[in-house]
Copies of this chain bind each other. A is one copy, B any other.
Amino acid sequence: MIEDHLARMGLELPAPLEAPPNVRLPYESVRVHEKLAYISGHGPFDGNRQLFRGSVGAELSVDEGYDAARATALSMLASLKHELGDLDEVQAWIKVLGFVKCANGFNVTPAAINGFSDLILALWGQAGRHARSAIGAAELPMGMPVEVEAIVTLA
């Protein structure tokens, strides 16, 4: 059902994250413990191709930051499908921690991370409601403008 919903929104899942050349990522995209899945920090990637780069408020506008956060959600969903087999295995969203690489003095981090939250809420409805923080990071891996990690419950 979640993938049908994505299709109706005109969206499709990117390829699951692969490490870019010369980057070693010795960790799991998703780590399941009992009925909780802890999801690693994701960014706006399609496979090993980085879709956005730079600081929000400088190279990227707030709208582009929002789009980068939505692309980050899609990359996370691709990891969840890859690990769980089906996005319908995700029963509910619990906690989101988002980081935004900000230009100096730019502090509208929630407006960017809303691109993540809005997509999750559109797809899961009430079950998508989550606690959240949106923090300005000095740097993010590979110059990504957004990185988000999350905790979800499984069916």
Q: List A residues at the B interface (Cβ < 8 Å).
A: 23-31, 33, 36, 38-41, 92, 94-97, 99-102, 105-111, 114, 117-118, 121, 129-143, 147, 149, 151, 153
Contact = CB atoms under 8 A, between A and B. Distances in A.
Contacts of A108: 141
Contacts of A118: 26
Contact of A138 (B102, B121, B133): B102
Nearest first, the 10 closest Cβ-Cβ pairs linking A and B are A136-B139, A41-B133, A27-B132, A31-B131, A40-B131, A138-B138, A136-B138, A38-B131, A38-B95, A107-B139
Given A138-B102, A139-B102, A151-B38, A31 B107 contact: no
B99 A139 contact: no
